[in-house]
Amino acid sequence: MRDRLVPLLIAVCLAAAGLTAAGLTGCAPRGAPRARGDADAPAPTPGLVLQDGEGERRVRRTVGKGPCVLKVDRRNGSSPDLVMGYEDLAPGAEIQPHTHLVADEILFIHRGAGVVRLGERETPVRSGATIYIPRAVRIGLRNTGAEPLGVVFVFSKPGFEALMRDNSVLEGQPVEPISAEERARIRERHRWHTVYPP
Q: Which tens digit of pLDDT belongs to each residue from 6-52?
A: 554 554 444 444 433 333 333 334 444 544 444 455 666 788 999 98
Question: Which of 22-26, 61-65, 164-168 is predicted least confidently?
Answer: 22-26
Closest CA to 139 of 162, 118, 114, 165: 118
Amino acid 46: pLDDT: 82
Please give the average per-residue pLDDT across 134-147, as a whole number.
97
Nearest to 76 by CA among 68, 64, 66: 68
Residue 116 CA to residue 85 CA, distance in Å, equals: 18
Task: Please check the confidence at residue 88 and state whether its pLDDT lies above 50.
Answer: yes
Residue 160's nearest CA partner among 110, 108, 115, 95 is 95
**Domains of the chain by residue range:** 2-23+57-195
What's the CATH fold of domain 2-23+57-195? Jelly Rolls (2.60.120)
Given this model, what pLDDT does residue 65 score? 74
Strand partners, 118: 121, 139
Q: How many Cβ atoms sit within 10 Å of the Cβ of residue 75?
A: 12
What is the torsion angle, in degrees rounded to the nearest 10, for the CA atoms of residue 40, residue 44, residue 48 and residue 53? 0
Confidence at residue 24, expressed as pLDDT on a 0 to 100 scale: 32
